[in-house]
Amino acid sequence: MSKPRIAFFDFASCEGCQLTVVNLEEALLDVLQHVEIVSFREAMKEHSDDYDIAFIEGSCTRASDEERLKKIRGNAKIVVAIGACATMGGINALKNTRPLETVRKEVYGDKWELFDTYRARGVDEVITVDYKVNGCPMTQSEFVKVVKALLTATTPDIPTYPICVECKQNGNVCVFEKGETCVGPITRAGCGACCVNEGAVCWGCRGLIDDPNVDAHKEVMEKYGLTVDELKNKLNLYFTNANLTK
């Protein structure tokens, strides 16, 4: 059987997810035993439009991106969105919270119309996406898990419970106990609560769990005497496109 041909593409992003692939180091050489990379602009000169699996990093932020996305969808049998920008708009969606014209003028002044842009969105708003690898940057172990599932034609096991489950397993002191705010209670697990483990908070980069209990989150806030306003700036970071109840 010939090796599956895979390609990487990027749209508006920091390319940190593709770097996460490179950061597999020696393990990447093992992956290369099983697949053939035919396009990866950031790392190789060769390019082919003949591929089976397309990994897409980055958000769609302008009409011209849609054509490129549709072409990729047309070429690929399987499309995998990698990282928060591609799965849900990611940090790019912060610009959606303010009037677009204001945003454009703030950055490019009176030449703002020279550069096209629209509401930042995940690629699944434009094309059908078969799999998602969550996180900002994408969770490396989840990427490996999805690649393995694709190669063995199985379904990757992506958690449907919140970060708090993993965070408690790790024995972390709850962020709320420390008087800080966190969006772990409504964020999809799978990263092992990596940021809280490092003394930070959960920022929500893996996206909402399937059925987020926003009311329960509010109760947690009340328990610790916090207002929703105090959490709002964190809810805004990654959930701008999710239309959470206010």
Partner 1 sequence: MANANLNIDLHYVTRVEGHGNIVVNAKDGKLEKVQWQVPEAPRYFEAMVIGQKWDVLHHITSRICGICSIGHTLASLKTTEAAMGITISEQSQLLRRLAINAENLQSHTLHVGYLALPDLVGAGSVIPLASSHPDEVALVIRLHRLSNEMSDMICGRTTHPQRLIPGGFTKVPTAEELKTLRTRLDDGFADVDAFGNLLVALAPNFPNFTRETEYISITDKNEYAFYDGELCSSLGDTAPITDYLAWTNEFIVPQSTAKYTKRKRDSLMVGALARFNNNHTQLLPKAAAWAKKLGLIAPCYNPYYNNVAQFVEVVHNIEDSIIQIDKLLAAGIKDEKPDVTPKAGHGIGTVEVPRGILHHDYTYDDKGVCTKANCIIPTNQNHNNIQKDMEALVPTILDKPQAEVELILEMLVRAYDPCISCSTHYLKVNFKNS
Binding site for partner 1 (CB under 8 A): 10-20, 22-23, 25-26, 29, 32, 37, 40-47, 58, 61-62, 65, 90-92, 94-95, 97-98, 102-104, 106-111, 114-115, 117, 120, 136-137, 194-195, 197-200, 203, 233-234, 236-237
Residue 146 to residue 158: CA distance in whole angstroms: 9
Question: Which of 92/241 has CB closer to partner 1?
Answer: 92
Q: Give the bridge partners for 81, in sequence order.
A: 56, 132
Segment (H or E) for 64 = helix 63-75
For partner 1, the closer of residues 14 and 149 by Cβ is: 14
Residue 25 Cβ vs partner 1, minimum distance, rounded to whole Å: 5
Could you tell me the smallest distance in angstroms from the CB atom of residue 219 to partner 1? 23
Nearer Cβ to partner 1, position 103 or 149?
103
- Measured CA to CA, the distance from residue 61 to residue 39 in angstroms comes to 22
Q: Report, in Å, the least distance between residue 43 CB and partner 1.
A: 6
Distance CA 187, CA 182 (A): 10
- Nearest residue to 9 (alpha-carbon basis) of 37, 31, 39: 39
Q: Report the distance separating Cα 131 and Cα 153, nearest Å.
A: 12
Phi, psi values for residue 79, rounded to 5°: -115, 130
Please give the structure tokens belonging to residue 136. 């900002």
Closest distance to partner 1 from the beta carbon of 189 (Å): 17
Tell me the closest approach of the beta carbon of residue 91 to partner 1, in angstroms. Answer: 4
Tokens found for residue 39: 């396009």
**Minimum CB distance to partner 1, residue 148 (Å):** 20
Closest to partner 1 by CB, 70 vs 157, is 70
Alpha-carbon torsion 212, 215, 216, 221, what sign? positive
- As measured in angstroms, the least distance from the Cβ of 12 to partner 1 is 4
* Token pair of 195 as six digits: 């940021």
Cβ-based nearer residue to partner 1, 100 or 216 = 100
Tokens standing for residue 10:
């990027």
Which lies closer to partner 1 via its Cβ, residue 43 or residue 216?
43
**Calpha distance 172→175 (Å, rounded):** 8
User: Residue 200 or residue 216: which is nearer to partner 1 going by CB?
Assistant: 200
